[in-house]
């Protein structure tokens, strides 16, 4: 039997990570088994539905690469719901009931509950049994034109030949009601897989107060869709080995419904960041470079830079940034943090930072800086790669003490007690800027009073 599965989101909010994860599991299962994946927008709650939420949900699926084979809107299926409601009433399996509510008399349609015990097999949770007596004759429609969720979902699943329902565990207690309705309309029972909820670190249900919960928020914060898909797949599922990084294609190959876990899946933002970093590393290099360089060029720092071409400089510092970030927005954060300002403007610092461990003689610092400056002065501009700079200076540094030579050299270039090594800095700044900064450092030390 070809699996036919669906995600049935209500457009009452932006695409939630829980819905995205459920959609992904349905999609992976359908692709793996050669089945059909359907999106059905459950838009019967007229008060809470909004077209922009439907758009947000569909945009989210597209961004993630969750492609559907068929698309429906529940609101466009009202004639079917009506037909089945009428049939149930005709067969005395449902009835109109007058209700008094807040002084208003209203007519609703209630299901005649046969009050049976209902058991069903859930592929995740095993045998599940419910006593349906306490449900009473539950309401299935507010009027002939207003079917409620339980009724519409059963009619739609039946008419769309859905044979496997994969959905969040919060729906497990809805299942007996839906099975009673299925039996009343003569629909076959689908298979069920109720997947564990996504929980926050404190094991409470993931909600806005824990931070981002909508897919578009993760997109805006600079996560890659490939990483989101990868991480969502690991929320409640894992493969039979310890692999953790997958492309969508690889997930389709290894996904197996029987490996869905029972316990809640804890959302761990640090893990997501790690997964994202791994996907950034796996991107084609040119693509990654392009994105980061563009962000550097767009930054205020780059626009206000004191020399050179913004593009050229961005290309040079891209590798430094690339190894430090886990998501794109961190490029902007790094640029705004001030940590890399010395690439764009002269560093501002006090002379004492130049002194290695605060133990150097003024004359030694000056001697080392002058020597390094003189060595570099002899080199051809085009030759200034980090390895070459290191090659030129290394034997001198070994002789005089690495810290004693390289510390002031590095601080002269960055003005900071922490920064990349001086060889990389010299390569990026180029010969002219490097030698100017060394001279400036010498001036600073010279001007320092009260020391030898
Ligand atoms: N519209 C329901 C929801 O958004 C669908 C539940 C189901 O999959 O049956 O939760």
* Per-residue pLDDT reduced to its tens digit, 2-49: 999 999 999 999 999 999 999 999 999 999 999 999 999 999 888 899
- Residue set of the binding site: 208
Q: Which of 234, 261, 282 is the last residue of a domain?
A: 282
- List residues forming the annotated binding site for ATP: 208
Query: Same domain for 415 and 384?
Result: yes
The DSSP bridge partners found for residue 5 are: 37
Ligand 1 binding pocket includes 171 (Cβ within 6 Å): yes
Does residue 83 form part of some domain?
no
Cα of 40 to ligand 1 centre, how many Å?
A: 9
Confidence of residue 55 (pLDDT cuts 50, 70, 90): very high
Q: Clarify whether residues 302 and 444 are in a common domain.
A: no
Query: 140 CA to middle of ligand 1, Å?
Result: 15
In a domain, 174, yes or no: no
Mutate to test the pocket of ligand 1, among 16, 23, 167 (most ligand atoms within 8 A of CB): 167
Domain shared by 337 and 369, yes or no: no
| Mean pLDDT confidence for 368-397 | 91
> For all residues of the chain together, what is the average pLDDT?
95
Q: Which long-range contacts (CB under 8 A, 24 or more apart) does 343-348 make?
A: 343/305, 343/313, 343/317, 343/428, 343/429, 344/301, 344/302, 344/304, 344/305, 344/306, 344/313, 345/304, 345/305, 345/306, 346/306, 346/437, 346/440, 347/413, 347/414, 347/415, 347/416, 347/437, 348/415
* Pocket residue to mutate for ligand 1, from 17, 149, 150, 172, most atoms within 8 A of Cβ: 149
| 190 assigned to some structural domain | no
Atom of ligand 1 nearest to the CA of 7: 8
Atom of ligand 1 at shortest range from CA of 22: 8
Which pair of tokens denotes residue 280? 């950034």
**Residue 428 covered by a domain:** yes
Asked whether 150 and 79 are in contact (CB, 8 A), the reply is no
Percent of the chain with pLDDT over 90: 90
- The domain in which residue 366 lies consists of 351-449
How many angstroms separate the alpha carbon of residue 337 from the centre of ligand 1?
Answer: 44
Q: Which of 22, 42, 48 to mutate to test the pocket of ligand 1 (most atoms within 8 A of CB)?
A: 42
For residue 102, pLDDT beyond 80: no
Ligand 1 pocket member 9 (CB < 6 A): yes
For 74, left (φ over 0), alpha (ψ -120 to 50), or beta? alpha
- Domain-ending residue, one of 239, 264, 282: 282
Task: Indicate if the pLDDT at residue 256 is higher than 70.
Answer: yes
Q: What is the average pLDDT across 234-259?
A: 96
Say which residues have a Cβ less than 8 Å from residue 76's Cβ, sequence separation at least 6.
Answer: none
Q: At 271, which CATH number?
A: 3.40.50.620
Tokens of 120: 């069903």
> Which numbered atom of ligand 1 lies nearest the CA of 167?
8
CA 153 to centroid of ligand 1, rounded, Å: 8
Which of 246, 261, 282 corresponds to the end of one domain? 282
> Is 357 part of a structural domain of the chain?
yes
* Cβ atoms 144, 94 nearer than 8 A: no
Ligand 1 near 167 CB (within 6 A): yes
Same domain, 370 and 323: no
Q: How far is the CA of 8 from the centre of ligand 1 (A)?
A: 5
Residues 402 and 360 in one domain: yes
Whether 253 is in a domain gets the answer: yes
Residues 301 and 273 in one domain: no
pLDDT tens for each residue of 334-351:
999 999 999 999 999 999
Q: Are residues 301 and 438 in the same domain?
A: no
Note whether 360 and 298 are same-domain residues: no
Contact 42 CB / ligand 1 (< 6 Å) = yes
For ligand 1, whether the C-beta of 11 sits within 6 Å is no
Q: Count structural domains, the chain.
A: 3
**What's the pLDDT score for residue 384?**
85
Is residue 208 pLDDT above 90, yes or no? no
Q: What is the mean predicted confidence (pLDDT) over 194-212? A: 88
**For residue 450, what pLDDT band results from cuts at 50, 70 and 90?**
low
DSSP-derived 3-state class of residue 448 = coil
Question: What Cα–Cα distance (Å) separates residue 250 from each residue in 239, 247, 279?
Answer: 11, 5, 13
Tell me how far the alpha carbon of residue 318 lies from the centroid of ligand 1, in angstroms.
45
Do both 248 and 338 map to the same domain? no
Q: Are strands 104-111 and 139-143 parallel, antiparallel or unpaired?
A: antiparallel
> Based on the domain organization, do 359 and 440 belong to the same domain?
yes
Task: Kindly report the protein residue whose alpha carbon is nearest to atom 5 of ligand 1.
Answer: 8
Task: Give 180 Cα–ligand 1 centroid separation in angstroms.
Answer: 17
Token digits of residue 52: 């922009």
- pLDDT single digits (tens) 78-93: 999 999 999 999 999 9
Q: Is 153 near ligand 1, meaning CB less than 6 Å away?
A: yes
Q: Which atom of ligand 1 is nearest to the CA of 157?
A: 9
Q: How many CB atoms lie within 10 A of CB 304?
A: 9
Domain shared by 379 and 289, yes or no: no
pLDDT of residue 119: 97
Is residue 23 one of the residues assigned to a domain?
Answer: yes
H-only helix segments in 98-199:
149-159, 175-185
Residue 75: name the closest of 16, 13, 10, 23 by CA: 10
**Percentage of the chain lying above the pLDDT 70 cut:** 99
Band (pLDDT 50/70/90 cuts) for residue 244 is very high
Residue 236 Cβ inside 6 Å of ligand 1? The answer reads no
Is pLDDT of 452 > 60?
Answer: no
**Residue 106, strand partner residues:** 99
Other C-beta atoms within 10 Å of 143: how many? 13
21 belongs to a structural domain: yes
pLDDT at 451: 56
Q: Is any ligand 1 atom within 6 A of the Cβ of residue 10?
A: yes
The model's pLDDT over 103-139, given as tens digits with 9 standing for 90+, comes to 777 899 999 999 999 999 999 999 999 999 999 999 9
């Amino acid at each position: 039997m070809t699996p036919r599965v669906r995600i049935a989101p209500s457009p009452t909010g932006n695409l939630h990570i829980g819905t995205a994860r459920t959609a992904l599991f349905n999609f992976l299962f359908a692709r793996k088994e050669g089945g059909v994946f359907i999106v059905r927008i459950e838009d019967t709650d007229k008060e809470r539905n909004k077209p922009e939420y439907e758009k947000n949900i569909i945009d989210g699926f597209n961004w993630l690469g969750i492609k559907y084979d068929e698309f429906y809107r529940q609101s466009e299926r009202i004639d079917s719901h009506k037909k089945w409601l009428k049939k149930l009433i005709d067969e005395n399996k449902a009835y109109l009931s007058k209700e008094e509510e807040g002084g208003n008399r209203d007519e609703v349609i209630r299901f005649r509950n046969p009050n049976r015990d209902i058991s069903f097999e859930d592929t995740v949770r095993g045998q599940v049994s419910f006593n349906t007596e306490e449900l009473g004759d539950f309401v299935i429609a507010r009027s002939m034109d207003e079917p409620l969720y339980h009724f519409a979902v059963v009619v739609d699943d039946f008419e769309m030949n859905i044979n496997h329902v994969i959905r969040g565990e919060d729906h497990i207690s809805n299942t007996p009601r839906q099975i009673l309705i299925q039996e009343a309309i003569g629909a076959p029972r689908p298979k069920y897989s109720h997947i564990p909820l996504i929980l926050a670190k404190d094991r409470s249900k993931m909600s806005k107060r824990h931070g981002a919960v909508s897919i578009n928020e993760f997109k805006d914060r600079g996560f890659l869709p490939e990483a989101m898909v990868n991480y969502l797949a690991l929320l409640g599922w894992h493969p039979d080995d310890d692999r953790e990084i997958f492309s969508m294609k690889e997930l389709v190959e290894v996904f197996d419904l029987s490996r869905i876990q029972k316990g809640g899946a804890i959302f761990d933002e640090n893990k997501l960041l790690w997964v994202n970093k791994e996907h950034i590393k796996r991107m084609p290099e040119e693509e990654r470079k392009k994105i980061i360089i563009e962000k550097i060029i767009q930054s205020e720092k780059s626009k206000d830079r004191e020399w050179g071409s913004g593009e050229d400089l961005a290309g040079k510092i891209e590798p430094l940034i690339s190894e430090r970030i886990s998501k794109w927005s961190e490029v902007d954060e790094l640029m705004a943090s001030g940590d890399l300002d010395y690439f764009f403007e002269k560093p501002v610092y006090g002379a004492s930072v130049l002194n290695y461990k605060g133990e150097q003689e003024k004359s030694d610092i000056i001697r080392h800086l002058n020597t390094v400056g003189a060595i570099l002065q002899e080199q051809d501009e085009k030759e200034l790669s980090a390895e070459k700079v290191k090659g030129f200076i290394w034997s001198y540094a070994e002789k005089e003490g690495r810290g004693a030579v390289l510390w002031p050299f590095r601080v002269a270039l960055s003005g900071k007690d922490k920064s990349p090594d001086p060889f990389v800095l010299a390569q990026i700044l180029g010969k002219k800027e490097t030698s100017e900064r060394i001279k400036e450092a010498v001036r600073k030390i010279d001007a320092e009073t009260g020391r030898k």
